[in-house]
C-alpha cells in the first residue's frame, strides 16, 4: 500500500531560517529516485538543490515558485509505494512499446515534454551541487528525469483504458514519432467517458510544439523563467540573456524587471526585498546597531608591492595565476593578525566573553548578480603565497558564478572589501556580524609622493579598518592597520614576520 510522504524544507544550518523556492525540477506525476533533486531553493547564503529522501511518484507541489517559506514548511508530497510497486525504467519502456507497437517508444512522455526540456546548463551537467548531508547525485539530471518521466508515463498508460480505434486523421502526432496512417474509411471513434476530444492541429503549427506562447517561443529560457516573465509582464524578447547560448536566466529577468516596472508604473519602482539583499539588510542593521564601530585610515606607498607583482608574473610558478595588490594585502592581513591577535576575535554577548580565533578565515567581499557576498578562504594564514592566490581566484570565481556554498559564506573571522576596483579611494565599511574588523582598500593610483627627499610619481593607495570598539580599542586597531601598511610598503617585511 502506497504512503504519502511530505518533504519539508530542511534546516540547512548556519542560522538560516527560510528559503525561497526558485524553481521546481519535477512535476506532479513524475517518478523520483532517492537523492534525485526535486527543487531549487535560494537562501541568504546560496542557491542549492534539495534532493528527495524517498523514491516514489510526485503527488503535489505544496509551495509555488517565487514564494519564501520557513524551515519546516512542507514543500512536496510524494507517494511512496511498497517495494516492487514502482515500475522500472525498462518496464516503462516496454509498456510504451506495447501501447504503440508501430512506433518507436518515446523517451519522454509528450504531456511532460514542455516541463522537462533541459537547459544547456543541464545538458552539460554544469549544476551538480546538492544540499550537504543528503548525498551526491547518481547521474546527470536529464537522464534521471527522462527515466522518471518514462516510469510515470508507463503507470498512467497502464491505468488508462485502451483506445477503441485508431486516432482520427486530424489528431496531433506524437512528439517523438509519427503516428501510423489510418485507413481512409475508418470512422472517428467516440471519446471515452470523462475524456475530451483532441483538438485539431493547425497546419502552421511547428512539428515540436512546446506549449510556449508564440511571442517568446524563439527566446531561450527555462519554463520557470517563462512563467515568471508572464507574472511580471515582461517580454522575454526584450531581455538580454547571459546564460549559455544566450539563454535568459532568472537573474537576467529580475535585473530587467525593475526597468520594465519603471516604464509601466511611471516614476517609481518597487523591488521585493528577498534573498541576498534581504539578508544583507538584516545583517547590516544588526551590525550597525549592535557593535560600536570606529574606523582608522592610512595612506601608503605601494610601489614596491607593484614591482613585486610584476616579478611574480614572470615567475613560472605563478604562470596563469591572477595576481593583483589584493593578494599582497591578504597576505599582509594574515601576518598583521599574527602580530595583533586581538583583532581576530568575536564578541559573545550571552557569555560576556571575547573569543580569540587562532585561525584566519579571510573573507573577500564580492559583488555578484545576487548581491554582495563575502565568502572566505579557510585557514588563509597557513597558505603559501601561491596557494593563497589560487584560493582567492577560485573563491571569487565561484561566488560570481553563483556556486558559493553555505560553508564558503560562513565562519569568517576578518574580511577585506576592495572598493578600488570601482575607482573609489577610501570608505568606512560596516563589520560583518561576528567579526571584529574589516579592511577596506581603495584604488591604487600614481601620485606625487615624497620619496628619499624628492617628489616623485609613486603608486599610492589608501587603507582603512573598521573595528568593533567593544573588543578592539584605538591602540590595537591602529597598530594592526600600521602593520598591514608596512608590508604593502616593504613586502620583504613578510620574511621577517612569517
Strand-pair category, 414-418 with 437-441: parallel
Q: Is 442 exposed, middle or buried (0-12, 13-18, 19+ CB in 10 A)?
A: buried
Contact, 7 vs 78, CB < 8 A?
A: yes
Q: Is the alpha carbon torsion for 203, 116, 222, 198 positive or negative?
A: positive
Residues 6+ apart with CB under 8 A from 207: 173
In the numeric block, which cell numbers belong to residue 185? 474509411
List 322, 358, 451, 469, catalytic entry: 469
Residues 6+ apart with CB under 8 A from 444: 302, 306, 325, 420, 459, 460, 461
Among all chains, which residue has been given the C-alpha cell 477503441?
A: 164
In the numeric block, which cell numbers belong to residue 74? 512542507
Question: CA angle, corner 47, sides to 43 and 49, nearest 5?
Answer: 110
Ramachandran sector of residue 136 (left: φ over 0; alpha: ψ -120 to 50; beta: rest) = beta
Strand ranges for 245-375 from DSSP E: 293-301, 345-348, 353-356, 362-364, 366-368, 371-373
Mark whether 469 is an active-site residue.
yes
Interatomic CA distance for residues 207 and 302, integer angstroms? 65
Q: Percent helix, strand and coil across the chain, each rounded to 5? A: 35, 20, 45
Residues 6+ apart with CB under 8 A from 300: 460, 461, 462, 463, 485, 488, 489
Ramachandran sector of residue 414 (left: φ over 0; alpha: ψ -120 to 50; beta: rest) = beta
Strand ranges for 165-309 from DSSP E: 293-301
Catalytic residue numbers, as ranges: 469
Amino acid at each position: 500500500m502506497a504512503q504519502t510522504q511530505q518533504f519539508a524544507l530542511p534546516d540547512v544550518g548556519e542560522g538560516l531560517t527560510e528559503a525561497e523556492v526558485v524553481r521546481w525540477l519535477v512535476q506532479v506525476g513524475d517518478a523520483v529516485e532517492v537523492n534525485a533533486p526535486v527543487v531549487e531553493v535560494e537562501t541568504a547564503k546560496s542557491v542549492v538543490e534539495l534532493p528527495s529522501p524517498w523514491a516514489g511518484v510526485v503527488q503535489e507541489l505544496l509551495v509555488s515558485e517565487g514564494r519564501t517559506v520557513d524551515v519546516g514548511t512542507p514543500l512536496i508530497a510524494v507517494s511512496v509505494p511498497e517495494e516492487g510497486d514502482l515500475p522500472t525504467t525498462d518496464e516503462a519502456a516496454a509498456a510504451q512499446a506495447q501501447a504503440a507497437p508501430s512506433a518507436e517508444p518515446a523517451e519522454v512522455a509528450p504531456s511532460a515534454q514542455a516541463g522537462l526540456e533541459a537547459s544547456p546548463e543541464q545538458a552539460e551537467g554544469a549544476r551538480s551541487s546538492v544540499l550537504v548531508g543528503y548525498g551526491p547525485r547518481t547521474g546527470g539530471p536529464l537522464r534521471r528525469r527522462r527515466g522518471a518521466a518514462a516510469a510515470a508515463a508507463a503507470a498512467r498508460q497502464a491505468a488508462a483504458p485502451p483506445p477503441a480505434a485508431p486516432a482520427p486523421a486530424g489528431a496531433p502526432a506524437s512528439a517523438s514519432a509519427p503516428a501510423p496512417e489510418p485507413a481512409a474509411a475508418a470512422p472517428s471513434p467516440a471519446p471515452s467517458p470523462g475524456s475530451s476530444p483532441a483538438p485539431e492541429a493547425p497546419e502552421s503549427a511547428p512539428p515540436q510544439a512546446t506549449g510556449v506562447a508564440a511571442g517568446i517561443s524563439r527566446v531561450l529560457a527555462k519554463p520557470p523563467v517563462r512563467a515568471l516573465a508572464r507574472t511580471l509582464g515582461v517580454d522575454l524578447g526584450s531581455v538580454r540573456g547571459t546564460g549559455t547560448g544566450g539563454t535568459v536566466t532568472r537573474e537576467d529577468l529580475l535585473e530587467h524587471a525593475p526597468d520594465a516596472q519603471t516604464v509601466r508604473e511611471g516614476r517609481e519602482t518597487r523591488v521585493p526585498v528577498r534573498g541576498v539583499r534581504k539578508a544583507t539588510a538584516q545583517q547590516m542593521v544588526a551590525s550597525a546597531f549592535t557593535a560600536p564601530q570606529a574606523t582608522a585610515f592610512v595612506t601608503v606607498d605601494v610601489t614596491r608591492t607593484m614591482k613585486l607583482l610584476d616579478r611574480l608574473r614572470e615567475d613560472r610558478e605563478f604562470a596563469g595565476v591572477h595576481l593583483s595588490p589584493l593578494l599582497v594585502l591578504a597576505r599582509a592581513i594574515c601576518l598583521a593578525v599574527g602580530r595583533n591577535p586581538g583583532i581576530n576575535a568575536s564578541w559573545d554577548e550571552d557569555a560576556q566573553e571575547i573569543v580569540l580565533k587562532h585561525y584566519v578565515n579571510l573573507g573577500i567581499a564580492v559583488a555578484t548578480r545576487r548581491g554582495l557576498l563575502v565568502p572566505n578562504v579557510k585557514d588563509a594564514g597557513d597558505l603559501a603565497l601561491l596557494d593563497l592566490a589560487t584560493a582567492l581566484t577560485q573563491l571569487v570565481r565561484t561566488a560570481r558564478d553563483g556556486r558559493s556554498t553555505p560553508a564558503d559564506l560562513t565562519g569568517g573571522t576578518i574580511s577585506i572589501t576592495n572598493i578600488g576596483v570601482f575607482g573609489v579611494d577610501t570608505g568606512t565599511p560596516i563589520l560583518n556580524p561576528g567579526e571584529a574588523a574589516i579592511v577596506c582598500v581603495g584604488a591604487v593610483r600614481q601620485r606625487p609622493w615624497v620619496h628619499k627627499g624628492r617628489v616623485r610619481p609613486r603608486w599610492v593607495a589608501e587603507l582603512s579598518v573598521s573595528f568593533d570598539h567593544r573588543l578592539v580599542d584605538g591602540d590595537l586597531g591602529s597598530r594592526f592597520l600600521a602593520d598591514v601598511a608596512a608590508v604593502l610598503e616593504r613586502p620583504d617585511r613578510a620574511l621577517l614576520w612569517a
